[in-house]
Every structure is written in structure tokens, then in C-alpha cells.
A = this chain, B = another copy of it.
Amino acid sequence: MTDQSKLVRATAPALHSIDAQTGAIVSDAFAVHGFDDVAAACAAAEAAFDIYRATDRATRAAFLDRIGDEIVTIGDVLIETAVRESGLPRARLEGERGRTVGQLRLFADVVRRGEWLGLRIDPALPDRQPAPRPDLRLRMVPLGPVAVFGASNFPLAFSTAGGDTASALAAGCPVVVKGHPAHPAAGALVAEAIRRAVSASGLPEGVFSHLVGAGNALGAALVQDPRIAAVGFTGSRGGGLALVKLAQARPVPIPVYAEMSSINPVVLLPHALAARGAALGSAFVGSLTMGAGQFCTNPGLVLAMEGEGLDVFVTAAVAALQASVGATMLTGGIHAAYGQGVQALAAHEDVETLAQGQAGEGVAAGRAALFATDAAAFLRDEALGHEVFGASSLLVRCRDADELRDVLAKVEGQLTATLQMDAEDEALAATLIPILERKAGRILANGWPTGVEVTHAMVHGGPYPATSDARTTSVGSLAIDRFLRPVSYQNLASALLPAELRDGTANDVPVLIDGKRN
């Protein structure tokens, strides 16, 4: 152990498993990793990279499936642990475990199909004039070892074995996870399951490492390690931007996929409001308060034109919100930040407090809150467009469609944008969609943003500051592309080509030949 590592361990806050509801420490202090452990994990990942990326698709897919199996094998103790550490309800965590395992199986399927290899062949044209064309063959290769920072709000699906880990492993990248300090015990159980899968699959240990520590020094060292080739992160804007900055300042800069902050505007169009304002009001509060509002896709901004329909919506939303009972938030820190955010809105001279929920039990219950302002005030103060992580939302009343469009054009980049609309709203909606396409990664109609399907056509991403890289998604099969880059092989002997590009290989993977699908 180096002196520096002693130092980081000595100065790092002690890391315990905390019961989110009571704030009580329920474990001994976790052994915290130091800088030497970061270096060892990165060295192991680097050593494992060439072996792991050379695995055939069947082997790699079976490994991903095996991780899923091992997570299921942990059994109920994983759910109990995650419930205790997160304060989230049991049913939610059972669902999240299903999602996590399903996500690993989706990527296993993706690996098997091989579409992600992006195979392209331009056959040689030996008779071309004035010079022959060489044989060119392209495939995607993995970037290298990936650092993954788990999120607090999805202790399973966006954490140790979450989407970043699954997609990086699918791409052929070893993964070094910096576990989230809010759920060290759940993280340790999942990390152990992955290690079992690594071992059972006969892969080198360095394919997966798990680092534990509170404070920022460990994560910073991980991002700065020269062997790390890319970073996946889900968390706060401040945290994400700090990692981006570190990654850009490296001698060799690397991409950071940080999913950071989003207030997910919901636009209530007039005919929908007129037809079902009350139902929308209560459904909106359902989406807002689910999981104590701790979703990246939580509807933190509601836009509508003033009128009777909006009044009915507000009345219903206020009633539903006042009946809601505050649920335990993930950590004391998140609870405190939420309280500050709500207080700032309540104290804002242009903001009216429409309703507050009931207080709830435990030390970290987040009381829901609904505020209102007008478009002019929103356009004046960009702080009104910042995320308050939790069950708080701001209604912006607009005079007319022009003002509605002005507000939408002003909001920052978002993960989602939602239209509540009826058929008669289509003409107005058509004028909004070009604006929304530039603002958000997902546009949805007549639903709520808080459900994120793990499928092929999902985009969980969006323009800055929703993410640090709008060209990607962190959920769904397209997420694998984040960890790949193209390599072209010119006139290479067949024996030296990767298997998928060799002549005479019965190829079950789609190939673009001279620009056309095979």
C-alpha cells in the first residue's frame, strides 16, 4: 500500500450501510479502497482486455446471461438489503431486479445478433481505373476498460450491474465500478455475483472490479488512470461535470457519458385539458411522487395555457398532492438538497406554492410540492429551470401558444418531453415537435415520463445538460455503441482478419456490402 493510498483511506469518510428510513448504521465500516487499489483494478482490466475482447459472441453472451443468473441466485437478501439502504419499496426493488436481469439478457441477445459490429465490406476492384481499389473491411472494436459510476436512485438497474456495466461488457470492455456509497451492501452482493460469473465463465478476473469508498478522490483517480478508456456516470450535474473535466484534462482525453439532470417538461394541450383535466391532474401527481420523485425522468416542469381546463387540472393535482404522503428519500444528503430546492422555490417572489404533500415518516421523508409561475417569470430567471431532485414540480402558466413555444425554446436539454393531447390538439402539437426534438432524447404522448422501457428504440439521453453527450443513450440496446469505435482493415490476409470479416465464413451477422445490406 502506497502512502497516498493510506492517505486517501485515512481522510475518506468511513463507509457504512445506512438504513435510509431511520438513518441508523446497520453494518460495520466497509473496507475502503485506496489509490493502489484503483491502479490494481485498472491494471487488471487492461491485462484482461485483449483476452476479453477476443471472446466469441456466444461466450460473451453466455457470460452476460450468467451475471443475470447469479443476481437472481443472491435471492431475497439482495432485495432486503436494497430496500433498507435505499428506502425504496420492496415491490419497486423486485421490479428493478427484474429490469436489471432483463437488461443483461437483452445485451446478451444484442451480442449474439452482432448488429453492433457494424460490419462493412467494400470488395476490391482490381480493374478500376486509374488505380485498383483495395479490399476494405470495417468492424467496431471496444474502446478499452470502462469506469462506471453507479447511481443512488437505482441501486440495481443503474448501479453495479446496471445499464452502463451491461453495455460496456457487451461491447467487449472490462469494467471497473466505483460503487455508490449510498448502497454499499447491495453493491457488494451484486459485485460478488458478477465475480462469480466471471470465474464460472473462465474469464480473467480483471474483466470486472468493484471499488468502494466515500468522497471523490477515488473516483477522480479512476477517471485519471491512463488505462481507462471511457466513463459511464449517472448522477448530479455537478458530479458529472467534474468527471467530464477530469477526463478532458488527461494527457489522452476520453469520452464521458454522464447522465446528469433533467426536469422533463410535460405540456398539457388545451383539448386534452378540456376533456380530462381532472384525470390528468391526479395521474400527474402519481408520476411526480412515485419513488419519492427520485427519477431522472421525474416531471419537474408542467406547461399549459391558462383557461378553465388548466384550473380543473390544478384543482385535481392540488388535491392529489395534498393527500400524498412523503416517502423516504435515498440519503440524508439528497433529502437535505431537496428541502433546500423546495424552500428556494417557495421563497421565490414570482413563484406561488400551490400545494404541499403530507410529511411522511422517518428521518428523510420527502414532502411533495407543487409550485406555479408565469411564462414571463420563467423566461426571466433561468434558475427556475433547474432540477430539484425529488417530488417537486413547477407549473408555468402561458398566455398563448407563442408563449408556450418561447418557454420550450428556453428550457435546457432534457431526457424527455411529454405532450398530453387529444386529436384536436394535433395541429398545435405539430408546431411543438420540432422544438422538442432539439431539446429532448424522447418525446412521448399521453403517458408520463417516469417509465423507461429497456428496448431497442429507447433513448434515455438528450442534449446538454441532460447528458454530457447527446449522441447516445444510457438505456436500451443502442447504449452499446458508446463503447465502440470503428477500425478498417485494408487488404489484410483472411487469416489475420477478425472472424466476422473473413472470407467464406458463414456469416449470420448483417454486413453492409458496398453500402447495401446483405
The interface of chain A, by Cβ under 8 A from chain B, is 50, 54, 109-110, 113, 115, 120-122, 131, 133-134, 136-138, 141, 143-144, 244, 248, 252-253, 255, 413, 423, 426, 429-430, 433-434, 437-438, 440-447, 451, 453, 455-459, 461, 463-465, 468-473, 477-478, 484-493, 495-496, 510, 512, 514-517
Query: What 9 pairs between A and B have smallest CB-CB spacing?
Result: A444-B490, A459-B488, A136-B457, A120-B457, A138-B457, A122-B455, A442-B488, A122-B457, A456-B515
Q: Give every chain B residue within 8 A of A516 (Cβ-Cβ).
A: 113
Residues of chain B lying within 8 A (CB to CB) of residue A434: 50, 54
Give chain B residues whose Cβ lies under 8 Å from the Cβ of A465: 252
Chain B residues near A113: list those with CB within 8 A.
515-516
Flag if A447 contacts B488 (CB, 8 Å). Answer: no
Query: Which residue on chain B has the smallest CB distance to residue A481?
Result: B471
CB A449 to nearest CB in B, in angstroms, measures 9
A439 to chain B, nearest CB (A): 10
Listed by A's residue number, 23 A-B pairs whose Cβ atoms lie within 8 Å are A122-B453, A122-B458, A134-B453, A136-B457, A137-B457, A138-B457, A138-B478, A141-B437, A144-B438, A253-B464, A253-B468, A255-B471, A426-B495, A430-B495, A430-B496, A433-B496, A443-B488, A443-B490, A443-B492, A445-B492, A461-B485, A461-B486, A470-B485
Residues of B within 8 A of A137 (CB): 457
Contact residues of A: prevailing secondary structure: mixed
Most-contacted residue by chain B among A113, A115, A253, A517 (CB, 10 A): A253
Bound: A167/B113 CA distance, A: 29
Q: In whole angstroms, how far apart are the Cα atoms of A462 and B437 in the complex?
A: 31
Interchain CB contact under 8 A, B464 and A486: no
In chain B, what residue has the closest Cβ to A422? Answer: B493
How many monomers of this chain does the complex have? 2
B121, A512: Cβ atoms closer than 8 Å = no
Residues of B within 8 A of A115 (CB): 512, 515, 517
Judging by beta carbons under 8 Å apart, are B496 and A459 in contact? Answer: no
Question: For A486, what are the chain B residues with a Cβ–Cβ distance below 8 Å?
Answer: 441, 459, 461, 471-473, 478
CB-nearest residue of chain B relative to A473?
B486
Say which residue of B110, B413, B444, B473 sits within 8 Å of A515 (CB atoms).
B110
User: Please, how many angstroms separate the alpha-carbon atoms of A158 and B447 in the complex?
Assistant: 46
Most buried by B among A252, A453, A490, A510: A490
Between A244, A252, A470, the greatest number of chain B beta carbons within 10 A of the residue's beta carbon is seen for A470
Which residues of the other chain, B, contact A457 by a CB distance below 8 angstroms? Answer: 120-122, 136-138, 488, 512
Q: What residues of B have a CB within 8 angstroms of the CB of A121 in the complex?
A: 457
Q: Could you tell me if A485 and B471 are in contact, using CB atoms closer than 8 angstroms? A: yes
Give bound CA distance, A138 to B423, whole Å.
22
The distance in angstroms between the C-alpha atoms of A490 and B417, with both chains bound, is 10
Q: Is the CB of A120 within 8 A of B426?
A: no
Q: Which residues of B contact A458 (CB under 8 A)?
A: 122, 136, 138, 488
* Contacting residue for A441 out of B144, B253, B443, B488, CB 8 A: B488
Which residues of B sit under 8 angstroms from A138, Cβ to Cβ? 456-459, 478
User: Which chain B residues border A489 with CB–CB below 8 Å?
Assistant: 442-444
Q: Across the interface, do A133 and B459 meet the contact criterion of CB distance under 8 Å?
A: no
Alpha-carbon distance between A443 and B393 when the two chains are bound, in angstroms: 53
Residues of B within 8 A of A464 (CB): 252-253
- Does the CB pair B487–A459 fall under 8 Å? yes
The answer to whether A496 touches B144, judged by C-beta atoms less than 8 angstroms apart, is: no
Q: Which of A50, A122, A477, A486 has the most CB of B within 10 A?
A: A486
**Contact partners of A144 in chain B: CB under 8 A:** 438
Bound-complex Cα distance A2 to B438 (A) = 30
In Å, the complex CA distance between A279 and B286 comes to 76
Residues of chain B within 8 A (CB-CB) of A248 are 248
- Apart from A115-B512, A253-B468, A442-B488, what 18 extra A-B contacts exist at CB < 8 Å? A109-B515, A113-B515, A115-B515, A120-B456, A122-B456, A122-B458, A136-B453, A136-B455, A138-B457, A252-B413, A255-B469, A426-B496, A442-B487, A445-B491, A459-B486, A461-B485, A510-B517, A517-B517
Taking CB atoms, residues of chain B closer than 8 Å to A473 are 486, 488
Shortest A332–chain B CB gap in Å is 32
Q: What residues of B have a CB within 8 angstroms of the CB of A429 in the complex? A: 496
Q: Which of the listed residues A110, A423, A488, A489 has the most CB atoms from chain B within 10 Å of its own CB?
A: A488
B492 and A134 form a contact (CB under 8 A): no
Taking CB atoms, residues of chain B closer than 8 Å to A255 are 469, 471
Complex alpha-carbon distance, A463 and B142, angstroms? 12
Question: Which of A50, A122, A456 has most B Cβ within 10 Å?
Answer: A456
Contact B443 A487 (CB under 8 A): yes
B496 close to A445 (CB less than 8 A): yes
Contact of A456 among B453, B469, B512 (CB under 8 A): B512
Give CA–CA (A152, B131) in the complex, Å: 25
Instruction: Report if A447-B253 is in contact (Cβ < 8 Å); known contacts: A441-B488, A442-B490.
Output: no
